[in-house]
Amino acid sequence: MSEEDVKEEIKKLRNEIASLKEQLREVQERRKEKGYKFYIDISNNIRESVEDVLESVAESIHGELVKSIFIGPRGVKIIKGKVSEKEEATVDFSKTAEIMNALSHEHRLKILKELMSGGKYVNELQEKLPEITTSTLLSHLKILEEAGLVVQEKVRGRYLITMPGRTAYRMAFKVARFVEESDLE
């Protein structure tokens, strides 16, 4: 898909939004005519906010595509940014140390492993990890949550692994594999 095609797609999407807005306006007009029950027309305020978000999303997608995709004669190539020496020098390891600390228990690694397949309730984790008592499990989950590796939904109560949590688990998995292979040698 060329840059022109992307622009064309965005143009089409904008036209669709305009058409939907028009349809919505017509529906509202028809409903006004019926004259029963009530609603509050604060829609302009909210509709504009939502439209702003959607437009900024469309523009950002366009910007990201232009920045990161090179379309050459042999097809599409994804351009990956390299870590510069300057970036490497300014890395803050304190958060990393906190994450490493959270990973430094077999039970916590097992919990992350279970969460890799999707969000789980405490009782589901307990079924999967019967060797850990409820209180210990909750204590481990608290440590993982404080390190930002898991997050708990407040309404449903499920625990979910976060993006840093997934990365940390993959790293731990690679280290485990490396150690196993080294032991074999």
Near other proteins by CB under 8 A: residue from 71, 105, 162, 173: 162
Mapped to the 3 state alphabet, what secondary structure does 77-107 carry? EECCCCCCHHHHHCCCHHHHHHHHHHHCCHH
Minimum CB separation of residue 152 from other proteins in Å reads 7
Minimum CB separation of residue 115 from other proteins in Å reads 9
Minimum CB separation of residue 185 from other proteins in Å reads 33
Spatial separation of the C-alpha atoms in residues 175 and 163, rounded to whole Å: 19
* DSSP secondary structure string for all residues of 121-140: -HHHHHHH-TTS-HHHHHHH
18 binds other proteins (CB under 8 A): no
Contact 110, 73 (CB under 8 A): no
53 binds other proteins (CB under 8 A): yes
Nearest to 113 by CA among 72, 171, 156: 171
Site string for other proteins, 56-95 (x = CB under 8 A): xx--xx--x-------------------------------
Spatial separation of the C-alpha atoms in residues 129 and 121, rounded to whole Å: 12
Site string for other proteins, 130-159 (x = CB under 8 A): ---------------------xxxxxx---
Chain residues in the site for other proteins (CB under 8 A): 28, 31-32, 34-42, 45-46, 49-50, 53-54, 56-57, 60-61, 64, 118-119, 151-156, 160-167
